[in-house]
């Protein structure tokens, strides 16, 4: 028998805290009965909810914590007040201590990343972590990173992200050599920032065993699913992610208002209701909830703060998959294969045909 | 009687050249009978199309050109081969010489910007130009800039863009003090890149007469229409624009496939057809076609290359409005009011509560 996947939960994170986190974990447990849980949170708020989920309770170790990081705490403030004592810190620390395989939190991203970096540290050969999001596309799903861990990226960091993102893609999409694109403002080689061009040259020249470098991609390639993994620095990645979310909401609102404007439209809506339901399902952000922190010496999953139990369960599922398919080992293996590239000298000084 | 608005057209630009540009101009002329045109292009291709539009022909001066900039020419190549002789250059030059009030081209953006910079030069006090796009939002429309003229922006350039974008917004939205937001990765003051934070401080402290600075906005605020003018540097702005276009196409494709999957859905579609038509109309990118080049000593409008006559007409209309409401004078007036800020010293060295 294989050993269980041990999931540490910050029950106090997110807009609704334990009322969403605990039922969400129960849903995920139902799908993955070989999970166990270590839950950190305020006992007065958590235990009554846990009592309503006896199956979850049976596989949970609960730890009371007094401090909860707030959604609007600055990272420095969260570290100062929440280090060692908050539910968020304790969940991450459980991974550090080897008491859990993954930490999941719906708490504030900045604080979670600051604590995760402080507690887990970055992997060998990785300077900076990244947050990877799963992005629904016309062809299925793609992985986009970095969606907001750090601002700015040099060529080496972009390559690290390509390596880490494709390790994650091997698990999520179950393929051996995912295609990887660098996000840029044009597909011609001449365009874009120096770091992106330089990373592109290195990726093209070096044959990484576990990825298939496809060149530059533009913003509209993300939704098309042109590549499995889209790599960009955190400022542009975060803006792309939020712009896409905003556009999806905007179109949903157009659609709602169009379908309620006339009697004919309302009748049409009733006939096509199941089609609309499947569309809503397709656009449901809860289905792909969960950002994966990459580049740390441990796995941490960030759930959307405003999600419901279904969304939270998706984040826990994602964490489960990352553990089950050994994300960290896959990243390390790919990083080691990429090290010769780093030793080859500054790419900006090379010349190419 | 007021004098006509004189529009210079690059008839060879875009995927379809004169077959789209000339009929597009005819549509716009119908809406604005006080326009006149100077059209540059190959006579064998243009004159037969022009003959089909006698009203347009009656107010057009036509100039034959031998060279057409190709959609995939690099800017340097376009300048080398097309300077002084291409239809694109000649249309811009007509503005420079005072023979036209605005140049409109559906040709390649990089070449058009390179030629426009070379021929028209930037305005006094402006270092770098920007491209402003009109972005449909839930509340109407907003202006977003820069969507790809230059990569990277310091605080001063961001402020210039805020000033230029709000001058354009005064015309497009007919309001005296448009709201302006700086695109960032979070609304808290601590987040984001140094240049954006520094520009934010300057905009907050100085009371610009023709804008209402509203602080940082995030990617999802664009579609919400949270502010009239969204300011960002060209890399992030281009990625945001193309990501939004990609997301809109992606959802349209989900919708089409949902509505054709079952008989019930097809019947529903028929009932709701006029609602779907109004939705399509709302999402129609041709309606808001036209990027405005800001910061140059002359007005240049870029139309989408792949558009049809309806879309091209929207770009010509936009140029007409910019001339009619004296965009350049409004920008100069606002820039002059902003100059004290530039003289106040580097903003990064100030401290604030």
Residue B86, domain extent? 5-127+286-333
Question: Is B243 in Cβ contact with A243 (below 8 Å)?
Answer: yes
| Residue B9 shares a structural domain with residue B120 | yes
- pLDDT band at residue B340 using 50, 70 and 90 as cut-offs: low
What is the structure's pLDDT at B279? 75
| Residue B120 shares a structural domain with residue B135 | no
**pLDDT of A219 strictly over 50:** yes
pLDDT tens digits, B227-246: 999 999 999 999 999 999 88
Question: Is B279 in Cβ contact with A254 (below 8 Å)?
Answer: yes
Residues of A within 8 A of B191 (CB-CB) are: 110
**pLDDT of B353 strictly over 50:** no
* Residue the block writes with tokens 């100062």: A80
| Residue B134 shares a structural domain with residue B281 | yes
Closest-CA residue in chain B for A138?
B250
Closest-CA residue in chain B for A73?
B188
| Residue B310 shares a structural domain with residue B219 | no
Among A131-145, B134-148, B274-288, which is the least confidently predicted range? Answer: B274-288
Question: Is A283 in Cβ contact with B262 (below 8 Å)?
Answer: no
| Residue B76 shares a structural domain with residue B142 | no
- Among A138, A151, A239, most B C-beta atoms within 10 A, so best to mutate, is A239
What is the structure's pLDDT at A276? 79
Picking from B151, B220, B243, the nearest residue to A220 by CB comes out as B243
What is the structure's pLDDT at A229? 98
Q: Determine, yes or no, domain membership for B72.
A: yes
- Could you give the residue ranges of the DSSP H alpha helices within chain A? 18-31, 43-51, 54-58, 75-82, 87-96, 109-120, 155-172, 194-205, 219-224, 234-259, 263-271, 273-283, 309-324, 327-343
Q: Determine, yes or no, domain membership for B339.
A: no
Q: Determine, yes or no, domain membership for B340.
A: no
Among A179-183, A257-261, A338-342, B221-225, which is the least confidently predicted range? Answer: A338-342
Q: Look up the CATH number of the domain holding residue B179.
A: 3.40.718.10
Task: Quote the minimal CA–CA distance from A184 to chain B in Å.
Answer: 7
What is the structure's pLDDT at B1? 54
- Among A246, A254, A274, most B C-beta atoms within 10 A, so best to mutate, is A246
| Residue B275 shares a structural domain with residue B314 | no
pLDDT (mean) for B58-63: 98
List, in sequence order, every residue forming a beta bridge with A300; answer none if it has no partner.
Answer: A103, A293
Please list, in sequence order, all residues whose beta carbon lies within 8 angstroms of the beta carbon of residue A69, skipping any fewer than 6 positions away: A12, A13, A78, A81, A82, A86, A87, A88, A89, A107, A108, A111, A112, A115
**pLDDT of B333 strictly over 60:** yes
What is the predicted ipTM? 0.85
Question: Is B268 in Cβ contact with A275 (below 8 Å)?
Answer: yes
| Residue B273 shares a structural domain with residue B176 | yes
- Among B78, B141, B146, B219, most A C-beta atoms within 10 A, so best to mutate, is B219
| Average pLDDT over chain B, rounded to an integer | 90
Question: Is B253 in Cβ contact with A261 (below 8 Å)?
Answer: no
Question: Is B239 in Cβ contact with A232 (below 8 Å)?
Answer: yes
Q: Determine, yes or no, domain membership for B49.
A: yes
| Residue B121 shares a structural domain with residue B135 | no
pLDDT tens digits, A87-96: 999 999 999 9
Q: Determine, yes or no, domain membership for B344.
A: no
Question: Is A264 in Cβ contact with B268 (below 8 Å)?
Answer: no
What secondary structure letter does DSSP report for A103?
Answer: E
Residues of A within 8 A of B264 (CB-CB) are: 271-272, 274-275
CA A101 – CA A6 distance, rounded (Å): 5
pLDDT tens digits, A56-73: 999 999 999 999 999 888
Question: Is A185 in Cβ contact with B239 (below 8 Å)?
Answer: yes
| Residue B17 shares a structural domain with residue B70 | yes
Residues of B within 8 A of A254 (CB-CB) are: 138, 279, 282-283
Closest-CA residue in chain A for B139?
A250
Number of domains in chain B: 2
pLDDT (mean) for A160-187: 92
pLDDT tens digits, A260-300: 888 888 888 888 888 878 777 777 767 777 899 999 999 99
Residues of A within 8 A of B283 (CB-CB) are: 251, 254
Closest-CA residue in chain B for A276?
B258
Closest-CA residue in chain B for A261?
B275
| Residue B138 shares a structural domain with residue B196 | yes
**pLDDT of A228 strictly over 70:** yes
The residue with greater pLDDT, A82 or A269, is: A82
- pLDDT band at residue B290 using 50, 70 and 90 as cut-offs: confident
Residue A240: Cβ-neighbour burial (10 angstroms; 0-12, 13-18, 19+): buried
Residues of B within 8 A of A278 (CB-CB) are: 258, 261
What is the structure's pLDDT at B348? 43
Residues of B within 8 A of A253 (CB-CB) are: 138
Closest-CA residue in chain B for A244?
B244
Question: Is A274 in Cβ contact with B250 (below 8 Å)?
Answer: no
Closest-CA residue in chain A for B233?
A236
What is the structure's pLDDT at A207? 80
Element (H, E) at A299: strand A299-302
- pLDDT band at residue A191 using 50, 70 and 90 as cut-offs: low
Closest-CA residue in chain B for A149?
B185
| Residue B310 shares a structural domain with residue B329 | yes
CA A18 – CA A309 distance, rounded (Å): 10
Q: Establish, for the pair of chains A and B, how many residue pairs have beta carbons separated by less than 8 Å.
A: 207
Picking from A192, A219, A251, the nearest residue to B243 by CB comes out as A219
Closest-CA residue in chain A for B72?
A188
Q: Determine, yes or no, domain membership for B347.
A: no
pLDDT (mean) for A323-337: 91
What is the structure's pLDDT at B349? 40
Contact B137, B228 (CB under 8 A): no
Percentage of chain B with pLDDT > 90?
A: 69
Question: Is B282 in Cβ contact with A258 (below 8 Å)?
Answer: yes
The residue with greater pLDDT, B262 or A112, is: A112
Q: Determine, yes or no, domain membership for B345.
A: no
What is the structure's pLDDT at A335? 86
Question: Is B219 in Cβ contact with A246 (below 8 Å)?
Answer: yes
pLDDT tens digits, B33-46: 999 999 999 999 99
Q: Determine, yes or no, domain membership for B184.
A: yes
Percentage of chain A with pLDDT > 90?
A: 69
What is the structure's pLDDT at B339? 66
What is the structure's pLDDT at B346? 46
Picking from B188, B239, B269, the nearest residue to A219 by CB comes out as B239
| Residue B325 shares a structural domain with residue B248 | no
Residues of B within 8 A of A223 (CB-CB) are: 243, 246-247, 249-250
What is the structure's pLDDT at A267? 86
Task: Quote the minimal CA–CA distance from B245 to chain A in Å.
Answer: 6
pLDDT (mean) for A6-15: 97
Task: Quote the minimal CA–CA distance from B252 to chain A in Å.
Answer: 9
Residues of B within 8 A of A147 (CB-CB) are: none
pLDDT (mean) for A32-43: 98
């Amino acid at each position: 028998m294989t050993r269980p996947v041990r999931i540490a939960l910050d029950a106090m994170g997110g807009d609704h805290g334990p009322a969403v986190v605990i039922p969400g974990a129960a849903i995920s447990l139902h799908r993955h009965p070989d999970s166990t849980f270590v839950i950190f949170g305020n006992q007065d708020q958590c235990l009554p909810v846990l009592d309503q989920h006896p199956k979850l309770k049976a596989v949970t170790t609960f730890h009371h914590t007094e401090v909860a990081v707030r959604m609007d705490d600055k990272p420095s403030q969260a570290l100062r007040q929440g280090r060692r004592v908050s539910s968020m810190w304790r969940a991450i620390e459980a991974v550090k201590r080897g008491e859990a395989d993954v930490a999941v939190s719906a708490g504030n991203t900045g604080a979670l990343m600051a604590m995760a970096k402080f507690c887990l540290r970055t992997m060998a050969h990785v300077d900076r972590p990244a947050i990877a999001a799963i992005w629904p596309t016309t062809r299925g799903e793609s992985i986009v990173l970095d969606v907001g861990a750090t601002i700015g990226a040099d060529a080496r960091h972009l390559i690290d992200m390509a390596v880490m993102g494709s390790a994650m893609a091997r698990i999520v999409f179950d393929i051996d050599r995912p295609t990887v694109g660098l996000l840029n403002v044009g597909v011609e080689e001449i365009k874009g920032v120096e770091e992106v061009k330089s990373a592109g040259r290195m990726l093209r020249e070096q044959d990484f065993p576990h990825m298939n470098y496809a060149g530059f991609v533009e913003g509209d390639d993300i939704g098309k699913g042109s590549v499995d993994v889209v790599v960009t620095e955190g400022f542009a990645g975060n803006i792309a992610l939020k712009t896409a979310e905003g556009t999806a909401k905007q179109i949903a609102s157009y659609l709602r208002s169009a379908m309620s404007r006339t009697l004919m439209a309302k009748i049409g809506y009733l006939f096509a209701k199941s089609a609309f339901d499947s569309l809503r399902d397709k656009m449901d952000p809860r289905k792909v909830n969960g950002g994966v922190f990459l580049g740390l010496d441990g796995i941490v999953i960030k759930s959307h703060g405003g999600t419901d139990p279904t969304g939270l369960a998706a984040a826990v599922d994602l964490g489960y998959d990352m553990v089950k398919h050994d994300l960290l080992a896959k990243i390390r293996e790919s990083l080691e294969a990429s090290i010769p590239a780093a030793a080859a000298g500054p790419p900006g000084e090379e010349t190419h045909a």
